[in-house]
Amino acid sequence: MGALDYLPHYTYEDYVQWEGKWEVIHGIAYAMSPAPMIKHQNISGKIAAELNSIFEKCKKCTALLPVDWKIKEDTIVQPDNLVICDKPASKTYISKAPKIIFEILSKSTAKKDLHVKYDIYEREGVNYYIIVDPDEELANVYKLNNGRYMKVCDATDEKVEFELKECDATLEFDFSKIW
């Protein structure tokens, strides 16, 4: 037996009992503290405003701030900003892959966002994954293509198009508005 065999393995049932903000990935608990920095919160709010404006007329898609995404019993994540294009089956979490996810990097979550969540989002079929670096004022935009993420661009003040079949449209996100 290896050391990993002795680590606790948490599930959604454990997760809902905890106080504070957490994520559970493959049964491992990740504390989401300290609370995001002011710049992180400001960028997240601006992303939310831009997404709400874009999807204002779409009857299928909704922009959300952090909400539980229960991928499986031992994997629950909370993306910073996301877009879903279906009605959630639960009132407490989503269970289908979002179409677009934004993660805003912080020192405490950068490795998880750049590697662990990247792999999860790719495997689960998230159409677009945008990794936002608030210090560099740069967003790495990835699009799912044949099951793998391909970099679309590094955005600073560009307008980037997102194609969503659910909206039957190409939508334009203005990155100059989030900094």
The full set of domain ranges for the chain reads 35-177
Closest Cα partner for 14 from 75, 80, 90? Answer: 75
Class of domain 35-177: alpha beta
- CA-CA-CA-CA dihedral for 164, 166, 170, 174, to nearest 10: -70
- Both tokens assigned to 14: 């454990």
Tell me the per-residue pLDDT of 93-103, one tens digit each, with 9 for 90 and over.
999 999 999 99
Query: DSSP assignment of 50-112, as one string?
Result: HHHHHTTT-SS-EEESS--EEEETTEEE--SEEEE-S--SSSS-B-SPPSEEEEE--TTTHHI
pLDDT of residue 3: 65
Tell me the per-residue pLDDT of 135-171, one tens digit each, with 9 for 90 and over.
999 999 999 999 999 999 999 999 999 999 887 778 9
pLDDT of residue 10: 97
What's the whole-number average pLDDT of the chain?
94
Q: How far apart are CA 18 and CA 40, in angstroms?
A: 24
- Cβ-Cβ contacts under 8 Å for 89 (sequence gap 6 or more): 95
Give the residue ranges of the chain where pLDDT is below 50: none
Longest dimension (CA), the chain: 55
Whether the pTM exceeds 0.85: the reply is yes
pLDDT of residue 139: 98
